Amino acid sequence: MNAFDVLGDPVRRRILELLADGEQTSGAITDAIQVEFALSQAAASQHLRVLREHGFASVRAEGARRFYAVEAGPLSEVDAWLDRFRRFWDQRLDALETELARGRRITRNTVNDEPGRPTEAA
């Protein structure tokens, strides 16, 4: 199973989102997944196992509890693959930044042009 097969499942993506906030117990992850996806504890555990077996998550035992954390390695591989396409959205983000700056200038000029308000010296 390649990285995109692992990430193609919405449950596994959601688990990684939960883990992005920091280490979580298997119980906390399972509870969230059961509520959001109406899955059994066994099904949620299966998704955790897939993430662990493919290197996306690690687990450590502390007594009877299991703590899961994100592993960056496979995500770095996905990022490297996406890098070829980044130029497509970088151009759009640059254009958005320009439009936001233009909107701030217009707002600032409109506020300064209100009657009774002092204007800024040019």
Each domain of the chain, given as residue ranges in start order, spans 3-70, 85-112
Q: Please name the residue that has the structure tokens 């298997």.
A: 26
Distance CA 115, CA 68 (A): 60
In this predicted structure, what is the pLDDT of residue 114?
A: 63
Q: How many helices (H) and strands (E) does the chain have?
A: 6, 3
- pLDDT by residue (tens digit) across 55-76? 999 999 999 999 999 999 999 8
pLDDT on residue 99: 82
**Helix intervals (H) in 1-122:** 3-7, 10-20, 26-37, 41-53, 72-83, 86-112
How much is the average pLDDT of 79-86? 86
Looking at the chain, the whole-number percentage of residues with pLDDT higher than 70 is 88
pLDDT at 120 over 60: no
What is the structure's pLDDT at 6?
94
**For the chain, what percent of residues have pLDDT higher than 90?**
57
What would the pLDDT profile of 14-40 be if each residue is shown by its tens digit? 999 999 999 999 999 999 999 999 999
74, 56 contact by CB (below 8 A): yes
Model confidence at 93: pLDDT above 70: no
Instruction: Say how far apart CA 9 and CA 47 lie, in whole Å.
Output: 9
- Per-residue pLDDT, averaged over 86-107, amounts to 78
CATH of span 3-70: 1.10.10.10
Residue among 3, 24, 112, 121 nearest 68 (CA): 24
